[in-house]
Amino acid sequence: MRFRNPVVLGGLAALWLGSPAAAQERITFNVDVTFYGDNTEFFNPWREGETLLGAESRLFLDVELNDFVTLRGGIFGDHRFGDDDNFETVRPVLALHLQNDYARFVIGSIESGAREVGLGPDQQGPHGLLPPLQRESLAFSRPDEAGLQLTVERPRFEQETWINWQQLNTEMNRETFDAGLRGRLHLGTPLPVWFSYQYHVVHSGGQLFDSGPVGDSWAGGPGFIVELPAGPFDAQTAEVHGLVARDVPDRAALSHTETGFGFGLFARYAAEKSGWRAHLIGWRARDFIKGEGDENYGSLREDGRLASLRHYFETGVSRTYHPANEMGIEFAARMHRIDTFHDYSFRILAKVDFGIPIKVPGRP
């Protein structure tokens, strides 16, 4: 889509120059740019390989009305290198943030996409969910999300809840949204152990127009994350999650004998040292189908056939550099064993993120 809408830029200028809040409170101009190169060489029955190469950027103003309320306005653009169009996606950034010392509520443009470098390619999804629940490449193919989001951060408790509205209900399309929950609670043990839980659902429906089947695809479950003694590394972690999934693409077509349930067991080990990170993933599942999940973990083949019992293994290494305080770059390579198939992938991720305070005449 070519950029044809100057209204967004005009709105940004109006927010900066004409808003009463802009004449009274603190204003920061923020730049958030992510450059990505993601190549997956997959030749298996479950997932096709693809190459994503481009840059996504957010330019926005944060107007702090007080310590608890921030109004955000700006523009988002996603440019795919080699595309005939200037931008794959152009959207406004509009959000209201309500926050205190430990919680933040957002309505409008929510925090998603590639939010930081150094996490490793297996944890770079839009909201950091496990890959069977939501594939990490969505951070590049669908980097901008809008809806509602609540984040809580305490020393022993962390949780993120969100709903992302993807599609309105029209004569041609069902409404579509996804919602999720990700959290963990420290158990207070001498060896740091966290009780973890994750859940994600994709829903298609709507009552205004009967423009297709009503369906749901959800999965989630509990787990434990253990912070192992560092030993020769800077950090070591091991985790295990048990997941339950149910995929119902058409509620009306679901028979009484079909349950649609699937089950999976996910395990991951990771070690970090001086900017290096290595990880190993093991996965075993039966009848596991999840919309927006990484197809390499699922039981549904691309040809529509069901492979009930699934095994998946992955190992990878990444290296992160920070040439400047406002910039980080991560290089990653992975090997994938999808049942009896062996594939590989690699990724380059660079992020520039900084804010510039704007002086308002008559204000300190």
33: in domain: no
The residue whose two tokens read 């044809």 is 4
Which among 25, 29, 124 has a CA at the least distance from the CA of 353?
29
Distance CA 100, CA 84 (A): 45
pLDDT of 174: 81
Distance CA 212, CA 205 (A): 8
286: in domain: yes
145: in domain: yes
Domain extent at residue 305? 99-346
**How many other β-carbons are positioned within 10 Å of the β-carbon of residue 51?**
11
240: in domain: yes
176: domain CATH number is: 2.40.160
pLDDT of 364: 53
Which among 56, 63, 79 has a CA at the least distance from the CA of 30?
63
pLDDT of 359: 84
At 139, which helix (H) or strand (E)? helix 138-141
pLDDT of 259: 67
Backbone CA torsion sign across 290, 292, 293, 299: positive
Rg (CA), the chain: 22
The structural domain count of the chain equals 1
pLDDT of 197: 99
115: in domain: yes
351: in domain: no
Query: Using a CB cutoff of 8 Å and minimum separation of 24, what contacts does 297-302 make?
Result: 297/131, 297/132, 297/264, 298/46, 298/132, 299/262, 300/46, 300/247, 301/45, 301/46, 302/45, 302/46, 302/47, 302/48
Pull the structure tokens for residue 242: 């048990």
Phi and psi at residue 196, in whole multiples of 5°? -115, 150
pLDDT of 5: 44
Ranges of the chain whose pLDDT falls below 70: 1-24, 255-259, 361-364
Query: 283: which residues sit within 8 A by CB, 6+ positions away?
Result: 132, 264, 265, 266, 267, 297, 310, 311, 312, 313
325: in domain: yes
Distance CA 137, CA 121 (A): 9
319: in domain: yes
Is 143 strand, coil or helix?
A: coil
Distance CA 155, CA 174 (A): 41
The DSSP output letter for 300 is B
